[in-house]
């Protein structure tokens, strides 16, 4: 059974008096352990699709299942703890709380668990180690480069060991070198730690890091194999 | 509480703004406590007084004296146990920077009438014995550094000239409502020096049965009506209340203006707190994405508002309580027993709670209800 099953999803937004259809009877399967890049022109609905999977948004009709749970049918009160347990999310920018250190930012998802202080500390150390920022843990976001900020955000997205890691244009604001670091890190998370990853990008080079590349155009998904698969 | 550091981090975001907000809450509550204590102190003064003590004044007005010859008449009235009398002296001491009241009293009967004016027996006897002696309240020792046996010269205004008294006693009131900064000296000394014998400013009477006060007072006034100076007799409580009421109107005005100021400060404060919450839309959306529940976010914002209001309240209310207590404040003798009461502290705590709700509720509800997707789109 696929980890993510999207079935017959319609999504429309009301813009003023106009109804804008984004998806019409969309279907998608994401397998456990996969690394999928989601490409498509701006406004094609990439972020919306990611939001639906994360339970941040609801389909107009149809079903979104993640790890056997009907996300599209959960109440907001059920969704928050479900997200804490299953989803790690990274945005293009401004992921971190500016008043918290890198360490404290990474700790946020763990505050929602029953882990003891000691267990939390171990996990944070491990996550910051994976992204290579053990020496930056006392730094505040403004003391970090854009690439380092994104790596802290990735550490936060994996620290609670979620079922699924979702990234919305994680390298969109980064220079080439930082992008490379982030993409290499994502590859490693997928290869070494078996994390299931869905990454939105409009950069073909970034998409090449993924095993599967999906193109979203006019509400339809077209699959192409990733370059490195 | 594992979220506390989140709230503290948010408070530290704009340190100066946070400190200013806390300071204005503290100031508002300090003002509140001070103004309300003026009111409670005056109210306590108006209520003070034994139902068994009556005060007789000249019916024409308190500034007019009564013949000393009434003492016997009053003493003979059925139901009256004891009689004493006093005069307002109205002198100045030194540069007159610190006013205090002086009274010419009949020592033995006056101290017997007012057991609340407590002093050692030997000092009491010395005061009764020695014509030009005086006793003073404990506070005057603190203010002027006067000592037992010291001569103190007061300039008379109503009774002109230099008046020198030897301090023979220092009293401590057993009831906070009694001024601890009075000077009492012998009525006979006043008469002797002015050569105007036979006048009392007012009489104080003790009656056997407090329930009879109305009829006894009426009886006295009826009996004296046809003499050359009619009396107006009432309970000591009513007598005190008439003074307190005069000040009460002032205090009411002060209180009203003060409360308006307090309210204005609180509004400004609440607004500042709401503004700082509004800057954090993005962060709230991020926390929700991580899996923080609406309830937790509501709680975090409320806790932040509560901390600001709470710290401000502890500083403002606690500061008022400690300051007035430690400096033994009595507004230069006008407000003896000035002390922030428990009820004032409780009402202050209520105001604090309201402030927390007023400033925290709107941003907290907004944070809880924030739609994540829209909030994220706004920035990117
Ligand atoms: N909350 C919303 N309200 C109205 N229109 C929206 C909303 N979210 C997205 N849209 C519209 O849906 C379309 C897809 O948006 P989005 O998923 O952000 O695209 P992408 O991430 O591929 O650029 C866009 O035309 C956008 O304007
Ligand atoms: Mg997008």
Residue at A22 is within a domain = no
State mean pLDDT over B190-210: 89
Residue at A3 is within a domain = no
Residue at A178 is within a domain = yes
- The Cβ-side half-sphere exposure at B271, using a 13 Å CA radius, reads 6
Residue at A1 is within a domain = no
Three-class secondary structure of residue B260 per DSSP: helix
Per residue in B208-218, pLDDT (tens digit) is 888 888 899 99
User: Higher pLDDT residue, B277 or B84?
Assistant: B84
Three-class secondary structure of residue A156 per DSSP: helix
User: Is B248's pLDDT higher than 70?
Assistant: no
What CATH number is associated with residue A210? 3.40.50.300
**Nearest Cα residue to atom 18 of ligand 1:** A47
Q: Is the beta carbon of A52 within 6 A of some atom in ligand 1?
A: no
Alpha-carbon distances of A104 from A147, B154, B236, B369, rounded to whole Å: 18, 71, 68, 25
Residue at A64 is within a domain = no
Percentage of the residues of chain B whose pLDDT score is greater than 90: 48
Atom of ligand 1 nearest to the CA of A169: 21
Two structure tokens written together for B142: 């603190």
How close is the nearest chain B Cα to the Cα of A88, in Å? 7
User: pLDDT tier at A188 (50, 70, 90 boundaries)?
Assistant: very high
State mean pLDDT over B269-287: 83
Look at residues B77, B188, B196, B200 and name the one whose alpha carbon lies nearest to residue B128. B188
Per residue in B127-147, pLDDT (tens digit) is 999 999 999 999 999 999 999
pLDDT of residue A228: 46
Helix spans in chain B (H): 4-11, 15-47, 70-76, 107-113, 121-129, 138-144, 187-194, 213-224, 236-278, 281-290, 294-313, 319-326, 342-369, 372-379
Query: CB of B270 within 8 A of CB of B359?
Result: yes
Tell me which chain B residues have a C-beta less than 8 angstroms from the C-beta of A112: 290-292
Sequence-ordered list of residues with C-beta below 8 angstroms from that of A18, at least 6 positions apart, any chain: none
User: pLDDT tier at A229 (50, 70, 90 boundaries)?
Assistant: very low
User: Higher pLDDT residue, B334 or B162?
Assistant: B162
Look at residues B61, B26, B10, B13 and name the one whose alpha carbon lies nearest to residue B310. B26
Residue A12, judged by CB atoms within 10 A of its CB (0-12, 13-18, 19+), counts as middle
Two structure tokens written together for A94: 């401004």
Q: Buried b / exposed e across A137-148, counting CB within 10 Å, b at 16+?
A: bebbbeebeebb
- Where are the domains positioned within chain B? 4-45+248-377, 53-208
How close is the nearest chain A Cα to the Cα of B142, in Å? 52
State the distance from the centre of ligand 1 to the C-alpha of A48, rounded, in angstroms.
6
pLDDT of residue A224: 64
Look up the pTM and report it.
0.78
Q: How many domains does chain A have?
A: 1
Expressed as residue numbers, the domain containing A151 is 32-58+73-225
Helix spans in B210-235 (H): 213-224
DSSP label at residue B329: -
Per residue in A90-122, pLDDT (tens digit) is 999 889 999 999 999 999 999 999 999 999 999
A109 touches chain B (CB under 8 A): yes
């Amino acid at each position: 059974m696929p980890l993510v099953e999207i079935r017959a999803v319609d999504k429309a937004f009301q813009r003023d008096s106009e109804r804008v259809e984004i998806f019409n009877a969309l279907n998608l399967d994401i397998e456990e352990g996969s690394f999928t890049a989601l490409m498509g022109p701006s406004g094609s609905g990439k972020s919306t699709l990611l939001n639906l999977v994360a339970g941040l948004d609801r389909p107009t009709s149809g079903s979104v299942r993640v790890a056997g749970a009907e996300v599209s049918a959960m109440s907001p009160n059920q969704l928050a703890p479900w997200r804490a347990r299953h989803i790690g999310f990274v945005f293009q920018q401004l992921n971190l709380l500016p008043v918290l250190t890198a360490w404290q930012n990474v700790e946020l998802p763990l505050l929602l668990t029953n882990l003891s202080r000691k267990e939390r500390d171990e996990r944070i150390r491990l996550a910051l180690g994976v992204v290579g920022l053990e020496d930056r843990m006392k730094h505040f976001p403004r003391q970090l480069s854009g690439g380092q900020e994104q790596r802290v955000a990735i550490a936060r997205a994996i620290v609670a060991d979620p079922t699924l890691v979702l990234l919305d244009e994680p390298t969109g604001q980064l220079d080439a070198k930082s992008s490379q670091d982030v993409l290499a890190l994502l590859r490693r998370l997928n290869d070494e730690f078996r994390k299931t990853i869905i990454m939105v990008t409009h950069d073909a080079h970034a998409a090449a890091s993924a095993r599967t590349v999906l193109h979203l155009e006019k509400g339809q998904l077209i699959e192409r194999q990733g370059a490195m698969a | 509480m594992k979220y506390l550091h989140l709230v503290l981090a948010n408070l530290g975001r704009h340190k100066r703004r946070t400190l200013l907000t806390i300071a204005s809450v503290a100031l508002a509550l300090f003002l509140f406590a001070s103004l309300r204590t003026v009111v409670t102190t005056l109210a306590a003064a108006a209520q003070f007084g034994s139902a068994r003590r009556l005060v007789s004044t000249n019916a024409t007005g308190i500034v007019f004296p009564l013949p000393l010859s009434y003492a016997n008449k009053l003493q003979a009235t059925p139901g009256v146990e004891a009689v004493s009398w006093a005069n307002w002296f109205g002198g100045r001491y030194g540069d007159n920077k610190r006013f205090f009241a002086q009274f010419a009293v009949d020592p033995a009967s006056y101290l017997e009438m007012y057991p609340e004016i407590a002093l050692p027996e030997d000092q009491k006897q010395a005061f009764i014995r020695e014509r030009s002696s005086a006793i003073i309240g404990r506070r005057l020792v603190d203010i002027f550094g006067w000592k037992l046996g010291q001569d103190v010269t007061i300039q008379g205004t109503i009774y002109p000239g230099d008046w020198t008294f030897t301090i023979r006693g220092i009293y401590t009131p057993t009831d906070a409502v009694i001024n601890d900064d009075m000077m009492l000296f012998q009525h006979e000394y006043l008469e002797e020096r002015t050569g105007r014998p036979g006048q009392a400013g007012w009489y104080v009477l003790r009656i056997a049965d407090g329930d009879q006060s109305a009829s006894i007072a009426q009886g006295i006034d009826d009996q004296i009506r046809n003499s050359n100076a009619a009396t107006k007799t009432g309970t000591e409580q009513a007598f005190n209340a008439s003074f307190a009421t005069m000040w009460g109107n002032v205090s009411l005005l002060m209180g009203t203006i003060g409360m308006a100021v307090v309210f204005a400060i609180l509004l400004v404060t609440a607004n500042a707190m709401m503004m700082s919450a509004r800057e954090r839309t993005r962060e709230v959306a991020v926390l929700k994405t991580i899996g923080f529940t609406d309830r937790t976010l509501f709680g975090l914002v409320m806790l932040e508002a509560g901390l600001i209001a709470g710290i401000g309240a502890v500083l403002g209310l606690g500061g008022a309580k400690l300051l007035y207590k430690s400096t033994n404040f009595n507004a230069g003798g006008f407000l003896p027993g000035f002390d922030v009461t428990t009820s004032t502290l409780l009402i202050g705590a209520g105001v604090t709670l309201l402030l927390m709700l007023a400033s925290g509720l709107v941003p907290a509800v907004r944070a809880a209800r924030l739609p994540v997707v829209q909030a994220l789109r706004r920035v990117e």
